[in-house]
A = this chain, B = another copy of it.
Amino acid sequence: MPRYRMTVEYDGIPYVGWQRQENGPSVQGAIEGAILRLTGETVSIRGAGRTDSGVHARGQVAHADLARVWAPEKLCNALNAHLGQAGERVSVLEVMAVDDQFDARFSALRRHYLYRILCRRAPPALDAGRVWWVHRPLDAARMHEAAQTLVGKHDFTTFRSAHCQANSPVRTLDRLDVTRDGEMIEIRASAQSFLHNQIRSLAGTLKLAGEGKWSVADVRAALDACDRRACGPVAPPDGLYFMQVDY
């Protein structure tokens, strides 16, 4: 069967997350529904990352096996037409024909995420649900310094959800940069793979460093503790964006 790779953008707010679940609409379900209405086929697609409810994507990648051969651009436009008719907040940015060795999840070499913090006194109006609103001042340079102690290969047990299903807590964090652009603080994280809630756990802990409540050494000590109870409060999903996957 021909396999297609899809790059997907979505607004995480109306969904229970990427993965199909009993308790509400999912992004995966939205796309599978569009495929069913387009081709009559009931397929199960696989995504590069199972984002949580409220987490957004600018470049999630998924693959699907379909019965017939499609011109990629035609398939992309047809899926968007069906997604739009259903009122979904999901858009397929690009479709590529790939061979059956390609797997959106297992072929991924690197995943890139962005976490946005709106740092100002007034709550967000235009960006509600799209940022973490922190109304106290944050020192982005200090957050960046603390972040650098977390880059590299470590046991990330401290920054891992209790529900994480990965076999190992060891991951290699290639990048964890913190920059400021006016009122917006942006955290960019890259790794081959992440643990469940890892980026939100890291963002919540870096915020403590930004407020001055934790020193850079405190952040490093939390990592070294390899204990979930050493983690700062987990940041909300609102500010998290799945940006890109490298293959």
* Of A85-93, A162-170, A205-213, A225-233, the one touching chain B: A85-93
Q: Are A10 and B58 in contact (CB under 8 A)?
A: no
Residues in B neighbouring A123, C-beta threshold 8 A:
80, 84, 91
Copy tally for this chain in the complex stands at: 2
Given A11-B128, A128-B11, A122 and B90 touching (CB < 8 A)? no
Q: Please, which residue of chain B has its CB at the minimum distance from the CB of A183?
A: B93
**Residue A121 at the B interface, CB < 8 A?**
yes
Interface centre among A91, A121, A122 (most CB of B within 10 A): A122
A125 within 8 A of B: yes
Interface residues of A in 69-101 (CB under 8 A from B): 73, 76-77, 80, 84, 89-94
**Could you tell me the distance between the alpha carbons of A125 and B88 in the complex, rounded to whole angstroms?**
8
Q: Would you call the interface of chain A mostly helix, strand, loop, or mixed?
A: mixed
A29 at the interface (CB under 8 A from B): no
- Given known contacts A89-B128, A128-B89, A9 and B122 CB-to-CB distance under 8 angstroms: yes
CB distance from A218 to the nearest CB of B (A): 30
Hey, which bits of chain A sit against chain B, CB under 8 A?
9-11, 56, 58, 73, 76-77, 80, 84, 89-94, 120-126, 128, 130
Asked if A91 and B122 sit within 8 Å, CB to CB, the answer is yes
Question: A123 to B88, alpha carbons, bound, how many Å?
Answer: 11
When the two chains form the complex, which single residue of B89, B93, B124 contacts A91, counting CB atoms closer than 8 Å? B124
Are A73's CB and B122's CB within 8 A? no
